[in-house]
Copies of this chain bind each other. A is one copy, B any other.
């Protein structure tokens, strides 16, 4: 277990990486893809401790550190700082009431092959540039049984602080990888999924799409969603085998991308469970 050190001085250099946390997301020294992983609050810190990301620092109140020590245990090799709420608030720059936070280095990303190994249900994202949506997509993916997430082009960083928080830490659990290529070439990776036996389903509104429930009965499914507003590119839709839509009421807008994905993934889980006399997919 890491040695636990009391720190009472907000200027303590060992706490430097927590300084001005609200501004950390826009720091020029932390460009997209290279920032530290930050976990806030007990639940997400526990998921970080259980993850493959090398923990650097855990800073928390005595009570929170005791809980972690009694639960998953505190990481060896990391700095474990016992701080009171006033100190941690002064360091991070806002009233930090969650009692514990932690940082970790990024680990090398999984390969696409690693994400695919054994997977039956994948979620593929294109053009989802909003960190909150990325987080919500991972939360929904984890809840609804997705085996892995693949990124096409133009998506936000899943390990950004806000994505981690909104995902409830599930970005640290659900394997993900980036398909290679740029905005008009990454879609070749979808052909690769089809070659490996995945039915690649584009979620897209419109009359040329089948109702969602007609699309999911396959041994392996990759559900492809795009950003709200623009939706999937034509390149992406052409690389998919099936187009599926959520039937929408007249006069309504499309759903938020994370909500739409949750509906699609629920339909996938329902199909796999084989309810009401429908053939169970095996």
Residues of A within 8 A of B (CB): 136, 139-140, 142-145, 168, 170, 173, 211-214, 246-249, 251-256, 258-259, 262-263, 266-267, 269-270, 273, 275-278
Check B269–A139 contact: CB distance below 8 A.
Answer: no
- Give Cα distance in the complex from A168 to B251, angstroms: 12
Which residues of chain B are near A273, meaning CB under 8 Å? 211, 247
Do B145 and A253 touch across chains, with their CB atoms under 8 A apart? no
Inside 8 A of A254's CB, which chain B residues have their CB?
A: 143
Whether A251 touches B140, Cβ cut-off 8 Å, given contacts A211-B275, A213-B275, A266-B263, is no
In contact, A276 and B213 (Cβ under 8 angstroms) = yes
Of B170, B249, B258, B266, the contact of A246 (CB 8 Å cutoff): B266
CB distance from A232 to the nearest CB of B (A): 18
Question: In the docked arrangement, what's the CA distance between A173 and B251, Å?
Answer: 10
Partner of A249, one of B142, B251, B252, B276: B142
In the assembly, what is the distance between CA of A273 and CA of B249, in Å? 12
Which of B139, B258, B266, B278 interacts with A276 by CB under 8 Å? B278
